């Protein structure tokens, strides 16, 4: 199993003097090494990462300062395509979803958009234009869906936490299949996570 990244580990690294650029560049390297798992649809470019790092310098240090996270690709991140697992649906938003913007304002950094069963309807992690997403523990098994990429990215140590959405078991199934905690807060606590009408609330995955 890959070494996982936690909020505590990120905090300890920064307290020990590790620079955010060093930690986040290492995360991007892990993503590149694990490309075969197909957890990500879009990953930040170096230029986009620099923009977040520049903004980070002006933000107060708090629990989420410099923490890398993943965003399911039916939740908007400004400047990154939203596909919902369907190329024909793709668009690039100019504004992030409120839950994403709140995390960014707190200093967290989204590293990109993750795999999902098309339109967030499925429990297997194989129903997307980009192909199947492999289980983070054993690639021979299903990753679970629809928040497959968010679970696998976390399970493989790419990020410290990830966002998903839940229609029926879209967060709980990939959490269980990848040995993670899946938290579905009361509706409205994570505001407007998705533009897709079938999704009923945000889902948080963590180690």
Quick one: which H or E segment has residue 182?
strand 181-183
**Which residues fall within 8 angstroms of residue 70, CB to CB, at 6 or more apart?**
39, 40, 110, 111, 112, 113, 114, 149, 150, 153, 154, 158, 159, 161, 162, 163
| Catalytic one of 146, 147, 150, 194 | 146
Q: Which of 72, 148, 162, 194 is catalytic?
A: 72
Q: Tokens 């993503």 sit at which residue?
A: 31
Residue 113 annotated among the catalytic residues of the structure:
no
Could you give the CA distance from residue 74 to residue 145 in angstroms, rounded to a whole number? Answer: 13
Strand partners, 70: 162
11 is catalytic: no
45 is catalytic: no
Q: What string of H, E and C letters represents the secondary structure of 17-86?
A: CCCHHHHHHHHHHHHHHCHHHCCEEEECCHHHHHHHHHHHCCCCCCCCCCCEEEEECCCCCCCCCECCCC
Of 96, 150, 162, 170, the catalytic one is 170
As a whole number of angstroms, the distance between CA 118 and CA 60 comes to 38
Instruction: Classify the C-alpha dihedral 5-201-107-42 as positive or negative.
Output: positive
Active site residues: 72, 146, 170
């Amino acid at each position: 199993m890959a070494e996982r990244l936690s909020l505590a580990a990120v905090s300890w690294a920064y307290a020990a003097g590790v620079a955010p650029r060093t930690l986040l560049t290492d995360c991007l390297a892990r993503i590149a090494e694990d490309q075969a798992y197909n957890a990500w649809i879009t990953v930040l470019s170096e230029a986009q990462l620099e923009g977040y790092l520049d903004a980070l310098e002006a933000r107060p240090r708090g629990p989420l300062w410099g923490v890398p996270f993943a965003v399911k690709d039916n939740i908007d991140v400004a400047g990154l395509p939203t596909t919902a697992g369907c190329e024909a649906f793709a668009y690039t938003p100019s504004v992030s979803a409120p839950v994403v913007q709140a995390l960014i304002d707190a200093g967290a950094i989204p590293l990109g958009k993750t795999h999902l069963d098309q339109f967030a309807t499925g429990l297997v992690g194989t129903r997307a234009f980009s192909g199947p997403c492999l289980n983070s523990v054993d690639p021979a098994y299903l990753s679970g869906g629809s928040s497959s990429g968010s679970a696998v990215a976390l399970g493989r140590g790419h990020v410290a936490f990830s966002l998903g959405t839940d229609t029926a078991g879209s967060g709980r199934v990939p959490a269980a299949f990848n040995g993670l905690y899946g938290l579905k807060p009361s509706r409205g606590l994570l505001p407007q996570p998705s533009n897709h009408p079938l999704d009923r609330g945000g889902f948080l995955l963590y180690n």
